[in-house]
Amino acid sequence: MILTKTSQYAVRVLTYMIQSDLRVFSAHHLIKALSIPDKYLRQLLTTLSKAGFIKSIRGREGGYVLARNPDKIRLSDIIEVIDGMERYERCLLGFPSCSDDNPCSLHRKWAPLREQMLHFLRETTLDEIRQNDITKF
Amino acid sequence: MILTKTSQYAVRVLTYMIQSDLRVFSAHHLIKALSIPDKYLRQLLTTLSKAGFIKSIRGREGGYVLARNPDKIRLSDIIEVIDGMERYERCLLGFPSCSDDNPCSLHRKWAPLREQMLHFLRETTLDEIRQNDITKF
DNA sequence: TTAAATTACTACGACGGTATAGCATATCAG
DNA sequence: CTGATATGCTATACCGTCGTAGTAATTTAA
């Protein structure tokens, strides 16, 4: 798969939160709503909190709140924190030195596609995703 | 990364063989020429042999020979044998049911890109790669 | 015939991604 | 103040990918 499961989970959680009218989401609520494994999502939520995407509110009545201005969050921002973007930027055959000037045998055909893919990841924001009005999480 | 290392190795081995004037390649030769870990490449060569991409010749003076008509070998044929193509065909967010009629929130923007990527993997043949005249393996 | 050169098979270990479990910590309703 | 409801931290296990190691089987040059 292109994204790791963890990145998929992260994107799903944040898109779910941004399109909902609620403000505070408990881990329990998100686990039920998104059918993501309990303990695993809890860890992920802590990661997203530390990364500044959401803010945690501890104690009774606590939960998670979107932190940043969500239209500013890009897919690549999320992926960078979870898996790192580097894997999507590399040469398809794994050469560290592959470039226009020193291409591998697939570079000429692959590089433009890769650029499109990176553009997609870097320019797609959560706000834009919300505007699709999709309720599949 | 987009391709697994094993798939990268497989593509590199086959492109190397197809562009060379030699006919028989020993594992030892390929390991030196491509700087791929010894035992790991030997396993891979056996896999490629069983899959019919190459033919093994055992015993002294033995090695591997390209089996099929190489212009017929597509990137997706190689990947299918090593990792399976399924991971490249799936929904970006991992939904099993994602489609034009029942899209996830990224489908509209992602699906066309995925199609281009799949077209690239399915239509690029080793013969076409050879014509690039690149000697980076 | 024999030794060298070669591929084939199988087991093992390291590592990262995924998932589970238990206990610690924090906060507030009552 | 206390119990209930939350999140935070850490250890463990599983699985697939990647890599290593040793031994067996095969063929041919000499």
- Rounded-to-integer distance, Cα B51 and Cα B10, Å: 12
Q: What is the pLDDT of residues B84-94, one digit of tens each?
A: 999 999 999 99
Secondary structure of residue B54 in the 3-state scheme: strand
Report residues 101-130 of A contacting strand D, contact meaning Cβ closer than 7 Å.
Answer: none
Q: Which residues touch strand C (CB under 7 A)?
A: A 4-7, 37-40, 43, 58-62, 83; B 25-28, 39, 42-43, 45-46, 49-50, 56-64
Pairing of strands B63-66, A54-57: unpaired
Q: What is the pLDDT of residues A53-87, one digit of tens each?
A: 999 999 999 999 999 777 789 999 999 999 999 99
What is the pLDDT, as a whole number, of residue A1? 54
Contacts of A92 in chain B (CB under 8 A): 2-3, 8
- Quick one: CATH architecture of A5-132? Orthogonal Bundle (1.10)
Asked whether the predicted pLDDT for residue B71 surpasses 90, the reply is no
| Interatomic CA–C1' length for residue B39 and nucleotide D19, angstroms | 8
Residue spans per domain, chain A: 5-132
Report d(CA A32, CA B119) in Å as an integer.
38
Mean per-residue pLDDT of chain A: 95
* pLDDT score, position A134: 82
**How many angstroms separate the CA atoms of A97 and A117, rounded?**
20
Determine whether the interchain pair A117/B117 forms a contact, defined as Cβ–Cβ distance below 8 Å. Answer: yes
